[in-house]
């Protein structure tokens, strides 16, 4: 298996309503690994990441969704687009490459339950 390495940004989303998220940049990510392998890596990395506030470390994330790709259109939503879940939510069985992840892809990492709740009532609280 060849190793294709890319740089990606993962937004750790704690709250959609409060726009509470923290971007974390990852270099040299192998896009031929499975989404499940990358999710496992993220879980372990977040727990030990220096400079990451404890509320972000202790949160339960379970879903990755592509927000934006280099040279592509950006969403108007400040945290994550609520559209195209079929294409943009990563499926664990596929590789990152198969899921559409490329160099400089930006993804949101969040709790699916929170996302579904926000989709039903996408109101931002200040």
* Span 6-60, pLDDT tens digits: 999 999 999 998 989 999 999 999 999 999 999 999 999 999 999 999 999 999 9
- For 2, 44, 59, the CA distances from 80, given in Å and listed in that order, are 31, 23, 18
Per the CB < 8 A criterion, the answer to whether 86 and 23 are in contact is: no
Whether 82 has a pLDDT exceeding 80, the answer reads yes
Is 63 inside any structural domain?
A: yes
Is 114 inside any structural domain?
A: yes
Host domain of residue 28: 5-120
CATH code at position 92: 3.10.20.90
* Count of domains observed in the chain: 1
Is 80 inside any structural domain?
A: yes
Which pTM was predicted? 0.90
CA distance 60 to 106: 20
């Amino acid at each position: 298996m060849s190793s294709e390495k890319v740089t990606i940004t993962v937004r750790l989303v704690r709250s959609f309503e409060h726009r509470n998220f923290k971007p974390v940049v990852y270099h040299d990510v192998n896009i031929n690994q499975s989404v499940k392998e990358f999710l496992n890596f993220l879980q372990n990395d977040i727990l030990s990441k220096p400079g990451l506030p404890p509320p972000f470390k202790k949160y339960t994330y379970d879903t990755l969704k592509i927000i934006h790709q280099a040279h592509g259109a950006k969403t108007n939503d400040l945290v994550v687009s609520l559209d195209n879940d079929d294409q943009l939510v990563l499926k664990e069985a596929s590789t990152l490459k198969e899921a559409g992840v490329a160099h400089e892809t930006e993804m949101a990492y969040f709790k699916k339950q929170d996302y579904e709740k926000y989709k039903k009532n996408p109101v931002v609280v200040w």
